[in-house]
Amino acid sequence: MSARTKARKRALDLLYQADVRQQTLAEVLSAEASRAVSEPDRQASWLYAREIVDGVGDHAEEIDEQIETYAQGWTLARMPTVDRAILRIAIWEILFNDEVPHGVAIDEAVEAAKTLSTDDSAGFINGLLGKISQINPR
């Protein structure tokens, strides 16, 4: 597993935790930063995970607006928590991280959904991110 894939997984865990525990991203990042200091072997994944979580936090309104606009028949509140986190990461990468090709962001999100969410989530996430990617080409 690549360092970026590990970082995405770590960011997903943090976003999920913040959502489920109703904590702020700052609270979750602070706790994880303390943990990261004692785990130097995970330093590479920590840096990108923090960049993702900070980016999702900085652009939360725009990201959630994209989800609400293109998730036909679904509201954010109705989606599984893990799907929301997966989508937020991928949309941040598509819209705000020029280093990640759209296809990579979509593939990583779909793989995460296959592993961590419902049977229907991977297809839903693929379709939603495909629309957003088409509308926001680089």
Taking only the tens place, the pLDDT of each residue in 75-127 is 999 999 999 999 999 999 999 999 999 999 999 999 999 999 999 999 999 99
- Give the tokens for residue 48: 């990108």
Q: What is the number of domains present in the chain?
A: 1
Give the range of the structural domain holding residue 19, as residue numbers without chain letter: 3-135
Taking only the tens place, the pLDDT of each residue in 40-71 is 777 778 889 999 999 999 999 999 999 999 99
What CA dihedral angle connects 88, 34, 9 and 85, to 10 degrees?
Answer: -20
Phi (first) and psi of residue 59, to 5 degrees = -120, 25
